[in-house]
Structures are given as structure tokens and as C-alpha cells.
Amino acid sequence: MKPDSKTATRLSQKHILSVDVEDYFQVEAFADQVSRETWDQYPSRVSANCRRLLDLFERYQATATFFVLGWVAERFPALVREIHDRGHELACHSFWHRRVYRLTPEEFRQDTLAARRAIEQAAGVRVQGYRAPTWSITSQSLWALEILAEEGFRYDSSIYPIHHDLYGVPGGERYPYIHRCPGGATLWEFPPTTARLGHANIPAAGGGYLRLFPLFFTNWVFRQYEQNGKPLVVYLHPWEIDPEQPRMAAGLRSRFRHYTNLHRTHERLEKLLQNYAFESFRDHLGRHAEEIPAEQKALKPQAGRQVIHA
């Protein structure tokens, strides 16, 4: 049976699918309870959960970018190779999952290089993309983008244009754009998906927001992006399709953010894969390498904030 015209139109536009490869005990929500020195003491579930995602993506012919934690790549190189061998892109998610704005520029550089080295050694491919843990490239740490450009990264996907207690750059561009560093280097920036409601950006279509908001809201956001001819960036974590994972002792807010609706993630993700077409950042850039986005807005100037000029 051929798809109807609406379905064919949806599937003709490709969106971007991404996975932040980290284990359930490595997330920011539990950082105060779980020290990095004890990570090896927890039973890992990241490989099994990643392979479930790989099988699901294969079923719907979706290609994704896997932003891999260097710690994971160093301990599970076979997983990293499998992700690559099954046609997906490998990118960097830091080594130790520390917030960028808590690091010095040199600490950030060394952490990033260590992570990229671990990923590249595992799979034998060049890593060109970066995503900060906890979306922690903010107005206070925009210097990190220049370091990424200096080290040869082609794109970043770390700047969330929302208000949040841990991250966010309110006033940031909602769609992909080219960031021009003070030193003259350039870097593609791919913000995660937001919906515009009134004068505010609302996070959508990724992580906890995919779990918390009803599916009709997510589909509405997809329609808004498609009407504007823009790619939507979906992201999730392997532990989000694992409702049976061990429960960690943490505060109420952390447990709410991490555990709410885990049992719904797989079903919602599968419905998105059924209804929309997805590709990796690598493949998207391969098709649009020479394009300059028609709309390249800057961050709204505010006191103490560096302005991104696109």
C-alpha cells in the first residue's frame, strides 16, 4: 500500500535523531549521590539498551547520531564499533559528564580530547560532533564553542534556547545556524527542539520532555517545524527505554526528572519512527553542506552575555 499524500509529505522531510549514550547512574540528576570514582561499581545496562535502540532504528530505517560518553567508549569499545558498523554516526558527549560551565577552558579541552580519542580508537572513525552534558554550554561558557572549532569539530548541539535551573540560553536561535567565534572560526549549531508559545520557548520532542508531554503536543511541534521547512532535533538516552533499571536514592525533583513515564518512552519513540523520517547530523550536513541558513539570528544582547553572531 502506498502512503497517502500527507504521509508521503511527512516522510519526504527528514528530521535529526540523536542518542546521548550514558548509563543510568551517570546522569546529572544523581551526580550529588553517585561519585564518578564509584561508576565501575554499578551494574551497567548501557550496551543492552543501546542495542535495543539500534534494533528499533533498523526496523524503521532511521539513522541517528550517538553522542558517546568517553568513559563508556573506553569500557565498551565493542558497543561503539557496533553503532558505527550499523550505519550510525558517532559523536562526543564528554568523558566524565561534567557541566561545561563548571570547568576551566583547559579542563574542557582535555576532557573533550580524551573522550574523542576513546571513541575514535574504538571505531576507527573521525568524530566531528559534540553535545555537552546537561546542555551546559550557556552564555557563561560560550568560550567552549571556540575550543571545539579549534580542535576540528564541525558542529555542536548543546545550546538549549530556554529558561531552566541547570542550563539554557534564553533568546537563542531555535533553528540550526552557523556560530562565528571571536577568532574567526565557524561551527554549526543545532539547538534541541522547542515550541514557541507566546513569548517563551517550550522544550519539546526530547528526553524528559518527550516522556512528560502528551504525544499530541509532540506531533503538533513536528507540524510546526515541517511547515517552516526546518529539521527537528529529537534526543533521548538509552536508560529512558529501560523502566526496569535500578532505582537510585535521590531527592524528589531528581527522581521525578529521571523516572517519570519511563514505561512510555519506547512506545512514543516507535510512533515517531513510524510517522516521520530521521537521519543523523552527519547525513543532514552532507546534504546541506553548502547551505547558509536563511535566518541566522543572534542571541538577544543582555548585560554580561556574549552575543552569537551568525
Q: Return the DSSP state at 171.
A: T
> Could you tell me if residue 306 is inside a domain?
no
Instruction: Judge whether 54 and 82 are in contact, CB under 8 Å.
Output: yes
> Could you tell me if residue 156 is inside a domain?
yes
Instruction: Judge whether 16 and 288 are in contact, CB under 8 Å.
Output: no
> Could you tell me if residue 89 is inside a domain?
yes
pTM: 0.89
Helix (H) or strand (E) holding 197: strand 194-197
CATH of the domain at 221: 3.20.20.370
Question: Among the residues of the chain, which ranges form H helices?
Answer: 5-12, 46-59, 70-75, 77-85, 105-123, 143-150, 207-212, 215-227, 252-259, 262-275, 281-288
User: Could you give the CA distance from residue 43 to residue 244 in angstroms, rounded to a whole number?
Assistant: 13
Amino acid 5: pLDDT: 45
Amino acid 291: pLDDT: 55
Amino acid 290: pLDDT: 59
> Could you tell me if residue 144 is inside a domain?
yes
Instruction: Judge whether 159 and 191 are in contact, CB under 8 Å.
Output: yes
> Could you tell me if residue 297 is inside a domain?
no
Instruction: Please give the residue range of the domain that contains residue 94.
Output: 5-34+41-288
User: Could you give the CA distance from residue 266 to residue 308 in angstroms, rounded to a whole number?
Assistant: 36
Q: Which of 109, 164, 115, 113 is nearest to 139 (CA)?
A: 164
Length of the chain: 310
Q: What is the pLDDT along the chain (310 residues), one digit of tens a residue?
A: 444 444 444 556 999 999 999 999 999 889 888 999 999 999 999 999 999 999 999 999 999 999 999 999 999 999 999 999 999 999 999 999 999 999 999 999 999 999 999 999 999 999 999 999 999 999 899 999 999 999 999 999 999 998 777 777 888 899 999 999 988 899 999 999 999 988 889 999 999 999 999 999 999 999 999 999 999 999 999 999 999 999 988 889 889 989 999 999 999 999 999 999 999 999 999 987 655 443 333 333 333 333 333 2
Instruction: Judge whether 87 and 57 are in contact, CB under 8 Å.
Output: no
Question: Structural domain tally of the chain?
Answer: 1
> Could you tell me if residue 192 is inside a domain?
yes
> Could you tell me if residue 303 is inside a domain?
no
- Do the strands 186-189 and 177-180 form a parallel or antiparallel pair, or are they unpaired? antiparallel
Amino acid 1: pLDDT: 41
> Could you tell me if residue 294 is inside a domain?
no
- Do the strands 155-156 and 194-197 form a parallel or antiparallel pair, or are they unpaired? unpaired
Amino acid 302: pLDDT: 34
User: Could you give the CA distance from residue 223 to residue 220 in angstroms, rounded to a whole number?
Assistant: 5
Amino acid 142: pLDDT: 94
